[in-house]
Structure 1
Amino acid sequence: MAEQERGLSRALSAPARAVSRILAPAPAVTARPALPEHGTGLVDFALYVDGVRQDGEWTYQSAYASARSTKHAFVWIGLHEPTPEEFSGIAEAFNLHELAVEDAVKAFQRPKLEQYEDMTFAVVRTARYMPHAQLTETSEVIETGSVMLFIGEHYVITVRHGAACRLRPVREELERRHELLAQGPWAVFHGVVDRIVDIYLDVAAAVEDDLEMLEASVFSRERRSNIQEIYQLKRELVEFKRAVMPLQRPLQLLVSGQIGGVPKEPRRYIRDVNDHLQRVIEQLLSYDDLLNSVLQARLAQVTVDQNNDMRKIASWAAIAAVPTALAGIYGMNFKFMPELEWRYGYPMVLTLIIVICGSLYRFLRRSGWL
């Protein structure tokens, strides 16, 4: 227990630790800890009553006890890439299931929704578009991460991995909408998932721009994209689909009411998020089909180019065969051969070679082989 309390104390800012040592025997967390968003461990922690953030200093245990004894109250803890030591104290204070805790510490889990007695554990994959001047065979188009949520009757704990989706704007937006935040922890779930899906829409729009430029490049006369560039975008699209597609099942369970404990009002908002998710999925499926078509078109172009090259090689080989044949004939070491002693034999053979080769070139040129 002492190790856990020391882990929690390290997550606080220096001023907060000084105040907590004076006012309470246990390490306390201020209402708004001055911690960097990009650091690991604790990002924010607060007690909410009727959707209003409560000022004061709390330990996890005291805040949770206050939430359980107060109507329409819950605790919201935000974490970013916590270590097992940093998370162990929270897991003990809120009696979190060990399997869910193990998944929360590990990043990049598959999107899912699981229930453990009085707690629901959700995993949502995040994504963001990586701007780039030009698509290449090594371009990173989409970066993914994950957000885990522990949702209980009087608490919600968000654990973020990666930099694909910051959750501080979600908290600030919900704190301005007291009537929605008063709905409890599931309102936080809606706010987090809604922001993630909105970013999905932005990523899908940016990928569509890349796809249009790639399509124009494939059919351009000046420059044609390499197959490696098409394959790279297709690979990035597959990564995006792995983040988006599995989220359908958890949202369907919530919308259909198969997951208990979800208030009616947040469920309506989640239904709207599910509609947006379906739109993203439809876009991804269409992008995948279009990218397959672009890839097939580029492969067909490569095949046509190879055929054109083979025809050119064959045409020049046919032209080169004429002087080779005549030179081979007159290069034979026979004593009695026609025209060997003829004065104009040599210029006549050269003229014959030029005429035949010129006629072949003109014929092959008109046939499109040269």
Structure 2
Amino acid sequence: MHTRLYRNGVLEKEGFPIEEVSDYVRDPDNTVWFDLCSPSPHELGLIGEELGLHELAVQDVLGDHQRPKVDVYDNHLFITVYGVHFHDETLDPVEINVFVTKNALVTVRENDHFDIGEVVRRWDAAARLATRGVTFLLYGLLDAVVDAQFDLVQDLDGQAEALEEALFEEQLRSGRELQRRMYVLRKNTTRVRKIMMPMRELVGTLLRRDQDIIDDGVMAPYYQDVYDHVLRATEWIDSIRDMLANVRETRLAQQGFRLNEIMKRVTSWAAIIAVPTAISGFYGQNVPYPGSGETWGFWTSSVLVAVTSVGLYVVFKKKDWL
């Protein structure tokens, strides 16, 4: 069980059943965290009744994918963020819903593709801040989510720079590998931007709102650090989009230049072929020629036409003109 109990900033218990949470949250000196992974509507309903969660917030968890946001209710906050996860080279974000009360933090994960253990390790590494209660736990969660997104943006930037260099590599110019990589990278970048752009408003709201849960002078600089990371990542993702747009334009220009080269070569071949065609067509082969009037002459000319056509096809195919 992913559960923890802090009392006056000291970790006292973990791994206990969720059924015991209601007993612990009654004591204001306690801070409780527990995690739910793909819970059923019935389980969420019970948790909502125990903690007094707003029905609209519970419905948002059960509904379709939400936009990253923070909703402020009378006795709790409802936050939606996304962890990063890849499936077959494609980004598949993991929705994480968070309920924040005065002394309880509830994380609801869409699936187990988000490593909640990394969040726990961050809490343990900064145990000195545990006295700040729920504010500290929420900071550790947001910090882990934003850092993972930041690392992903950094990786996407490296892939975009590699694409720029690959534009002029002959082995990729002549195939479809570059186009596939461009498509995957543009798709992942678009998805990252969708889950990162609202994070500026989300973290900014936590810093601006006059809430007893978040308004903590000690933790404010830590939340500001998360906000700075979000700003850097969103600005970086916009620069990556511009870079990909330039790569796409350059690729299209290269294809145009390549098509012009092919057309010049094909025109040259057509001119070479047109010369004997024009001559033979002008004379109509009315003068005697080897095999004239003979069956073997007809077959010889037919085979010659076929071999010449196949030879030209092989040459064009080898040069990637067809």
TM-score normalised by the shorter chain: which range applies? 0.7 to 0.9
Secondary structure, aligned partner of 1:118: coil
**Which of 68, 83, 88 does residue 45 from structure 2 map onto?**
88
Asked if the contact 2:69–2:80 (Cα under 8 Å) also holds between the matched residues in 1, the reply is yes
| Contact 1:124–1:146 (Cα < 8 Å) also in 2 | yes
How far is 1:259 from its partner?
5.1
- Within the candidate set 21, 29, 46, 2:4 is matched to 46
3-state DSSP of counterpart to 1:265: coil
Q: 2:98: which partner in 1?
A: 149
Q: Distance in 1 between matches of 2:167 and 2:107?
A: 44
Q: Which amino acid aligns with 1:127?
A: V
Match of 2:199 among 238, 241, 247: 247
Task: Find the residue that maps to 1:264 and give its secondary structure.
Answer: coil
Match status 1:234 vs 2:183: no
Mean alpha-carbon deviation: is it higher for 309-318 or for 235-244? Answer: 309-318
Q: CA deviation at 1:198?
A: 1.1
Kindly provide the amino acid, as one letter, of the partner of residue 63 in structure 1: Y
1:311 to 264, 271, 291: 264
Deviations 1:103-160 (A, max 9, x none): 2234632100001111111111111456xxxxxxxx5243311211111112111112
Give the alignment of 1:355-370 within 5 angstroms: none
Q: Which residue of 2 aligns with 1:256?
A: 208
One of 105, 115, 129 as aligned partner of 2:72: 115
Please say if residues 105 and 134 of structure 2, whose CA atoms lie closer than 8 Å, have aligned partners that are also in contact. Answer: yes
> What SS does the aligned partner of 1:274 have?
helix
Q: Residues 171, 155 of structure 1: CA spacing in aligned structure 2 closer, same or farther, 3 A cutoff? A: same
Alignment partner of 1:206 is 2:158: no
Secondary structure at the counterpart of residue 54 of structure 1? strand
Contact 2:163 2:178 in 1 (8 A): no
Query: Which 5+ residue runs of structure 1 have no aligned equivalent?
Result: 1-42, 131-138, 334-339, 342-369
Q: What is the rounded CA distance, in whole Å, between the counterparts of 2:147 and 2:35 in structure 1?
A: 20
**Paired residues for 1:323-342 under 5 Å:** 323-331=276-284
CA displacement at 1:175 relative to structure 2: 4.0
Aligned residue for 1:272?
225
Counterparts of 1:14-33 in structure 2, within 5 Å, are: none
Secondary structure of 1:198's partner? helix
Q: 2:118 touches 2:144 (CA, 8 Å); kept in 1?
A: no
Pick aligned residue for 1:284 from 237, 247, 258: 237
Per-residue CA shift, 1:322-343, capped at 9, x if unaligned? 222222221287xxxxxx79xx
Q: Secondary structure at the match of 1:223?
A: helix
Structural RMSD (CA) = 2.5
Structure 1 151/325 Cα, relative in aligned 2: closer, same or farther at 3 Å?
Answer: same
- Give yes or no for contact 1:129–1:203 (8 Å, CA) kept in 2: no
Q: Deviations over 1:69-91 (max 9, x none)?
A: xx4x2221111221112222211
Distance 2:222 2:22 in 1: 31
CA contact (8 A) 1:74 1:185 kept: yes
Cα deviation code 1:30-59 (max 9, x no counterpart)? xxxxxxxxxxxxx42233211112349672
Deviation at 1:206, TM superposition (A): 2.0
2:274 is equivalent to residue 321 of structure 1: yes
Q: Which runs of 5+ in 2 are unaligned?
A: 289-320
- Summarize the Cα distance change of 1:176–1:315 in structure 2 as closer, same or farther, 3 Å threshold: closer
Distance 1:166 1:86 in 2: 22
CA contact (8 A) 1:127 1:143 kept: yes
> What residue in structure 1 maps to residue 317 of structure 2?
none
Deviates more, 1:218-227 or 1:108-117: 218-227
Aligned to 2:275, the other structure's residue is in SS state helix
Residue 5 of structure 1: aligned partner: none
**SS of the residue 2:92 aligns to:** strand
Residue in 2 aligned with 1:63? 24
1:76 aligns with 2:28: no
In 2: Cα distance, 1:87 partner to 1:246 partner: 26
CA distance in 2, matches of 1:275, 1:285: 16
Name the counterpart of 1:162: 111
Q: Deviations over 1:333-357 (max 9, x none)?
A: 7xxxxxx79xxxxxxxxxxxxxxxx
By percentage of residues, which structure has more helix?
2
- 1:176, CA displacement in angstroms? 5.1
Name the SS of the counterpart of 1:117 in structure 2: coil
Find the counterpart in structure 2 of residue 39 from structure 1: none
Matches within 5 A, 1:346-361: none
- 8 Å Cα contact 1:165-1:196 kept in structure 2: no
Corresponding residue SS for 2:95: strand
How far apart, in 1, do the equivalents of 2:57 and 2:111 lie? 19
Distance 1:203 1:47 in 2: 32
Q: Which amino acid aligns with 1:53?
A: L
2:89 is paired with a residue of what secondary structure?
coil
CA distance, structure 2, for counterparts of residue 293 and residue 208 of structure 1: 14
Give the SS at the match of 2:93: strand
Q: Please show how residues 207-222 of structure 1 align to structure 2 within 5 Å.
A: 207-222=156-171
